[in-house]
Structure 1
């Protein structure tokens, strides 16, 4: 018994590790390619659907697709309605592994032929520069995956004699539902619908389950894959919750459709098998998986707007303004985590600069104190988030961008502190006219840069104006200290000097935060 159980368990473990390495390696190697594909093909629902299916099939991970999607929705790159199409496509792309396993893995001993990939992958991981290390991880994962599948197949052949579902009923919806729950439980234990379906395919190939039972298990695995989505939804941002709920709802709908059409499909497969004298097998099972997902997609895609509104009603946004877009799940894709942080800081910078302009105009809104408190909270969260973004020692672009974002957060914090404590007195006083004019021009340039409407040399202009304010402070301080002063004159000197220092310090932080925010954008991966 142990000589069959151990290879089965070892094969299953290798398959899961291979899937993990392949998925993580491909996602890390692809970097900005995921972003480019999604952004290029997320116009109409059918294009969003195609991009979701393509990315998931290539990355071998619907999780990678949904994580990327969460970041894009939260950053405002695509709408939630467009995201629905990608989510549906990800479900179809998830069926690609079943075709690979049934079409090649069970027919050819790929575990033997992919062994060289393990050596090549290990060499690339150890010796290759930059992102090619991640390509090595993906190649090694690919080799381990099929080596595990080969061991799983051998172990299942031995277990088939002692493990069988033949005692379970196979006819009627009640029987199908019971077997479906088995597939759901299997996926819950393995935390991978792909692994559950690979096990089912090898069990079918070994004769441990019938085709009817295997088809019902696949339906259960398709629904069970949403359990990971439930974990993502718990404690995630509003965007993570909505994306996870959309993924869950679609897979449940598609799974129920699969259960509904299962008797008809089985009759058709058995009739076809009798006609060509070949019983239905693993390829037919992969086809069934793709079939009911495709039917679900065909029914849901025309109603993506209604689907999106339904999810939004199920998961309402109870805050007037989202606290932040930084979800921990984004840390799995450093390029995406950096992009989302960048856009979060750009949004906060716009709010800070607006408040700065109101302060210069002596027209601060009543909500200024609350807004500044909320900005401080999000900046603190952004700082903690950036520190947790993985940074490889041999990837200077990631390290440079992380450093730039941390500098940005620091100067935005300091600007917020200046706005929290504006100077006393009338900033429209003629003594401050030159400083106010320079600060307003500087702030206008910084705001225009956030909208992409600033002149080419906007950063140099901001620097010149910031230096002019520094010189203005030095000049005013010298003039005031040179004049003879009484007690009242000394108080007035301090007030005027402090006000000019406020102009000078605020402008420095606007300049520096603009500089580092631009540097982070220029270092985009």
Structure 2
């Protein structure tokens, strides 16, 4: 019973330590992580290098992949470069095995890292800004080695009850069992790193021989793709493509490793005898890196071909303005806000185009349409509600003024788009009896505003310039003034019996619709145009 408790406790400490370490480093790196990934992804080879290095630094292929999804959604890098990052992240995650085998198993760091856990926890609780995240990373680093030490103690006791060392590692039956163990452990633990660490510990204590340990590591590499598959089931098309690419890459790499296992073991044996490679855990870490490296050598030169095949298997269906939204992006608020900002701009583009189609007319000839197609309204309403729901799940960043300002701007955009959508659903009628000179002028001003605004948000990758967006303020104010003039004159004419009350109310309602809609169009463009570092405007 004590052995089981130690094994489970050690595994839990290791998993919590890894989570704290990767989350802390990711949050501490902040924009530096995203800038580094974006800067060095000009080609699949550069993308591979950046994916490997960043994963080594933050100790999380998930953090690298989430950042990657945000960039591809925003159109900053292509899918072929994204595949390079995926392959780099797979290779980079093998670095944890080197840390465990060279430090965790050779030196009892569990006792010496206790002060590090305490200091890290205090920093996590008391520090502010990015340093509180670094405190969490330090505490996680210490817990990682405490977990390894606890697992070692439990594994020594486990040898009396359960051991794979008696299984025949040279038979396909024994290898199949070991492969299944590695795969199932990774699926259950949701971490290939934890499976590799446990396997290294078992190898160090003699609970498993090297050949079977190597097969368990292959199973872990295949099993780790299941986490991405489960996460992508309800995600965006890009998340599904990324998950499929990860599955194909890791499965193929694992299959190659199984087929070439005797040859790979011979290479390691040669390195042990002639290159000074240490047997045991270090050699197992080298084996992990070696077979993932073979997969990279196979896929990376053909990244463009690989990307096209994945895109054919999962083709684009429709052109939804919310296609780039994915729940995995919530782990990095800055990327989630970037994705929601792209969606809001796409929705604004659709709304403005929809209204422009209605208001496109020749003065004195075509009447104003009284409605928009219900299917268009329904699709736009669905997109707005999707962004609203997505936005509510983005974690608040109270210690990041820039992100807080970005959230506020997007809230304003969403608010004005929702109000403009409500007005689009109840378009006013306009006929000869209800027309006035002011109303015709206001309609012409609003039509020109729609044309200008549509041009401003036409580019999916860049927001309009603030100066251009605020040029819409003048026609919006002119429409407001025309409404006041019309109100006074129409009310007076109605009181004198020159107008029917129903006609007067209809004219005034139309002017009010134009004024409010013009205000929303201007404010949508104003907030979309503000640079990320600009201070949020409090004007509603």
TM-score, normalised by the number of residues in structure 2: 0.89
CA pair 43-369 structure 1, distance change in 2 beyond 3 A: farther
Given the alignment of the two structures, is residue 438 of structure 1 paired with residue 445 of structure 2, yes or no? yes
Picking from 474, 498, 503, the partner of 1:492 is 503
Q: State how far apart, in whole Å, the 1-side matches of 2:110 and 2:454 are.
A: 58
Which residues of 2 match residues 282-321 of structure 1 at below 5 A?
282-319=281-318, 321=320
Mapped pair 1:423 → 2:428: yes
Contact 1:359/1:419, CA 8 A, preserved across alignment: no
What is the match of residue 478 of structure 2?
A: 468
Aligned to 1:65: 64
Q: Which residue in the other structure is 1:375 paired with?
A: 380
2:260 alignment partner, SS class: helix
The CA distance in 2 between the partners of 1:282 and 1:365, in whole Å, is: 74
Could you tell me how far apart the structure 2 residues matched to 1:415 and 1:373 are?
14
- Using the alignment, how far apart are the partners of 2:177 and 2:463 within structure 1? 62
1:402-449 CA-partner distances (Å, limit 9, x unpaired)? 333222112101112222322212699854443234324433443454
Shift, 1:228, TM fit: 0.4
Deviations 1:478-497 (A, max 9, x none): 12222354375434333332
TM-superposition CA deviations, 1:21-78 (whole Å, max 9, x none) = 1112222222223321222122211111112212222221112222222222233332
* C-alpha distance in structure 2 between counterparts of 1:132 and 1:276, whole Å: 42
> Superposition pairs for residues 97-496 of structure 1, below 5 Å?
97-273=96-272, 280-319=279-318, 321=320, 323-362=322-361, 368-425=373-430, 431-450=438-457, 451=459, 457-483=467-493, 485-486=496-497, 488-496=499-507
Report how far residue 258 of structure 1 moved: 1.2
In 1, are the aligned partners of 2:34 and 2:67 still within 8 Å (CA)?
yes
Q: Provide the rounded CA distance (Å) in 1 between the counterparts of 2:475 and 2:396.
A: 35
CA contact (8 A) 1:53 1:90 kept: yes
Deviations 1:294-335, CA, capped at 9 Å, x for gaps:
111111112222222222233233435465332222212111
C-alpha contact (below 8 Å) 2:101/2:200 kept by paired residues: yes
State which drifts further: 302-311 or 467-476: 302-311
Q: Any gaps of 5 or more consecutive residues in structure 2?
A: none
For residues 182 and 189 of structure 2, the distance between their equivalents in structure 1, rounded to whole angstroms, comes to 11
Q: Residue 513 of structure 1 corresponds to which residue in structure 2? A: 524
1:226-270 deviation line (CA, Å, top 9, x unaligned): 110121122222222111111111110111111122111212333
CA offset at residue 172 of structure 1? 4.1
Do 1:22 and 1:139's aligned partners in 2 also have CA atoms closer than 8 Å? yes
**248-257 or 304-313: which moved more?**
304-313
Q: Distance in 2 between matches of 1:367 and 1:75?
A: 30
Q: Displacement, 1:454?
A: 5.3
Verify the 8 A CA contact 1:125 1:134 in the aligned structure 2: yes
1-side partners of 2:90 and 2:39: how far apart? 20
Contact 2:412-2:527 at 8 Å conserved across structures:
yes
> Structure 2: how far apart are the matches of 1:312 and 1:509?
38
Count of residues in Structure 1 that have an aligned counterpart in Structure 2: 524
Whether the aligned pair in 1 keeps the contact of 2:463 and 2:528 (CA below 8 Å) is no
Stretches of structure 1 lacking an aligned partner (at least 5 in a row): none
Query: Against the structure 1 CA distance between its residues 199 and 494, is the aligned structure 2 distance closer, same or farther, given a 3 Å change threshold?
Result: same
- 1:300–1:371: structure 2 CA closer, same or farther, 3 Å change rule? same
Q: Is the 8 A contact 1:109 1:150 kept in 2?
A: yes
Query: Shift of the alpha carbon at 1:111?
Result: 2.1
1:79 aligned partner: 78
